[in-house]
Amino acid sequence: MTQEVPPIKATKQMRKIMADYFAGLDRAKKEGSPKVAWCTSVGPGELLLGMGFEVYYPENHGAMLGATRMASDVIPVANAAGYSPDICSYLTSDIGAYLQNVTPLAKAYGMEAIPKADVLVYNNNQCREVQDWFSFYAREWGVPIVGIQNPRMIGEVKKSHLMDVRSQLEGMVPVLEEVSGVKFDIDRFREAVGLSKECTIRWRKVLEAAANRPTPMHFFDHCIHMAPAVVLRGTQQAVDYYDLLLAELDERLKAGVAAVPGEKIRLYWDGMPVWGRLRMLSDLFMELKAPVVSSTYCNSWIFDPLDPKDPFESMARAALEIFNVRDEDFKEGYIKEWVQRCGVQGLVFHDSKTCPYNTNSRFALPNRLSKELGIPTIIINGDLNDLRCFSDEQAKTNIEAFVEQLLEAAA
Ligand code: SF4
């Protein structure tokens, strides 16, 4: 029988600040002020906050569509409208839900519809899909779209990269001023970058707490508690929330509370979560006493370079340093560092059918890491939202066999 794990008490506060956030967006739409900007999840949210926008992140909506499994009903609607089943299933879920006029925000937050954008702002550092995704809404609503074309496959971030992205960021300001009707104020921008930095510092500590044995939180907790770091970074609410969570983590560490009681094997997860199967996978790893302690995905919202003293340049650097845009050598070194920090004994790679950008198993990275670190790896086929690409049975059998192999090796 699996031992009960005490729930994370801070969850209640997280629900409250998320509800307040969506209420703010809903109010802004109804009153027409402040203006609403849509932003990609690792896009220039701080600049938008600094210019007085309410900021909405559609990838969060995509994840909600996945987690509620509404995605399965609406992806075919987008497919029928010409968006291939092979492209990002956040995109197809979100556009499908829009075409079907449904949203999980209705049940979760009492919103009648998604908050329509006054301007759409992206950075294609994470993938090309975001530009196509936002372009759909720009055409649909006749609103402006601005974006950053970010260099990809970067090793070392060079001055030329920084100048490129910085100038693109600065170039957005006149468009944003026109939409918001608010004059750019560097102090307001600095404040948002400063708060985002404080959020990052705390979110990093939450993730690093997994280096403790037993780990007080695991990947599936991180997937839930990362929400404020995604949609509320740049606000005081996110900073306060992570202070609360860190205080609770401290209590859990002192009391020896284990996210996965009796942990035997520690794992790393690379790739997107399978949102519609979070619970099933969490239960499986719990039963196997094999916590997933760390992940590339949840680490993606650590933006170490942010610096309110130099907001444009530091935001440019943060955008250029994210894992997705780096070359294979960087990725190898990065995962290695987290594996060693958290005492990981096995690597799980999720090959997410519709997100090649967050799939790192297709160019022999697992083989190289396994050789270098001397630890086994496994590749699970699936998808972030499209459950037609995921087999519960196959994933379960493969993961069970993998953990068994690790246990034998450890015995
Ligand atoms: S990074 Fe992947 S999951 Fe995220 S928007 Fe792009 S294709 Fe979709």
152 occurs within a structural domain = yes
Distance between CA atoms of 202 and 49, rounded to whole angstroms? 20
Number of domains in the chain: 1
115 occurs within a structural domain = yes
19 occurs within a structural domain = yes
Mutate to test the pocket of ligand 1, among 64, 87, 126, 301 (most ligand atoms within 8 A of CB): 126
- Among 4, 66, 65, which Cα is nearest to 277's? 66
356 occurs within a structural domain = no
Question: Which is the closest atom of ligand 1 to the Cα of 127?
Answer: 6
Q: Is the distance from the beta carbon of residue 242 to the nearest atom of ligand 1 less than 6 Å?
A: no
23 occurs within a structural domain = yes
Distance between CA atoms of 28 and 187, rounded to whole angstroms? 23
Q: Is the distance from the beta carbon of residue 126 to the nearest atom of ligand 1 less than 6 Å?
A: yes
256 occurs within a structural domain = no
**Cα-based angle 343, 349, 351 (whole degrees, multiple of 5):** 165
Instruction: List, in order, residues 6 or more apart from 1 with CB less than 8 Å away.
Output: none
- Both tokens of 402, joined, read 């993998």
CATH no. for residue 182? 3.40.50.11890
Residue 31 is part of which domain span? 11-188
Distance between CA atoms of 180 and 33, rounded to whole angstroms? 9
260 occurs within a structural domain = no
159 occurs within a structural domain = yes
Rg of the chain's alpha carbons, rounded to an integer?
21
Question: Which is the closest atom of ligand 1 to the Cα of 40?
Answer: 5
Amino acid at 262: G
Distance 247 CA to ligand 1 centre (A): 33
Instruction: List, in order, residues 6 or more apart from 352 with CB less than 8 Å away.
Output: 271, 272, 274, 358, 359, 382, 383, 384
Indicate which residue's Cα is closest to atom 5 of ligand 1.
130
Distance 99 CA to ligand 1 centre (A): 20
Indicate which residue's Cα is closest to atom 8 of ligand 1.
88
Q: What is the pLDDT of residues 130-169, one digit of tens each?
A: 999 999 999 999 999 999 999 999 999 999 999 999 999 9
Q: Is the distance from the beta carbon of residue 352 to the nearest atom of ligand 1 less than 6 Å?
A: no
pTM metric for this prediction: 0.97
Amino acid at 75: I
Q: What is the pLDDT of residue 80?
A: 98
Question: With b meaning 16 or more CB within 10 Å and e meaning fewer, what string describes 340-367?
Answer: eebebbbbbbbbbbbbebbbbbeeebbe
Distance 127 CA to ligand 1 centre (A): 6
Distance 156 CA to ligand 1 centre (A): 23
- Among 130, 155, 166, 189, which Cα is nearest to 317's? 166
- Among 204, 193, 276, which Cα is nearest to 235's? 193
Mean per-residue pLDDT pooled into runs of 10, the chain (411 residues): 84 98 97 97 97 98 98 98 98 98 97 96 97 98 98 96 98 98 96 98 98 98 98 98 98 98 98 98 98 98 98 98 97 98 98 98 98 97 98 98 95 84
In degrees rounded to 5, what are phi and psi of residue 54?
-85, 135
Q: Is residue 180 helix, strand or coil?
A: helix
Indicate which residue's Cα is closest to atom 6 of ligand 1.
127
Q: Is the distance from the beta carbon of residue 134 to the nearest atom of ligand 1 less than 6 Å?
A: no
Q: Are 74 and 56 in contact (CB under 8 A)?
A: no
Q: According to DSSP H, which parts of 83-158 are helical?
A: 89-100, 104-109, 129-141
Q: Are 95 and 136 in contact (CB under 8 A)?
A: yes
Q: What is the pLDDT of residues 246-295, one digit of tens each?
A: 999 999 999 999 999 999 999 999 999 999 999 999 999 999 999 999 99
Tell me the average pLDDT of the chain.
97
- Both tokens of 387, joined, read 């459950």
| Torsion sign, CA atoms 6, 254, 208, 198 | positive
Instruction: List, in order, residues 6 or more apart from 163 with CB less than 8 Å away.
Output: none
Q: Is the distance from the beta carbon of residue 191 to the nearest atom of ligand 1 less than 6 Å?
A: no
Mutate to test the pocket of ligand 1, among 38, 64, 91, 132 (most ligand atoms within 8 A of CB): 91
Q: Is the distance from the beta carbon of residue 88 to the nearest atom of ligand 1 less than 6 Å?
A: yes
Q: What is the pLDDT of residue 2?
A: 58
Task: Specify the DSSP class assigned to residue 258.
Answer: -
Distance 384 CA to ligand 1 centre (A): 9
Q: Is the distance from the beta carbon of residue 89 to the nearest atom of ligand 1 less than 6 Å?
A: no
Q: Is the distance from the beta carbon of residue 137 to the nearest atom of ligand 1 less than 6 Å?
A: no
Distance 124 CA to ligand 1 centre (A): 10
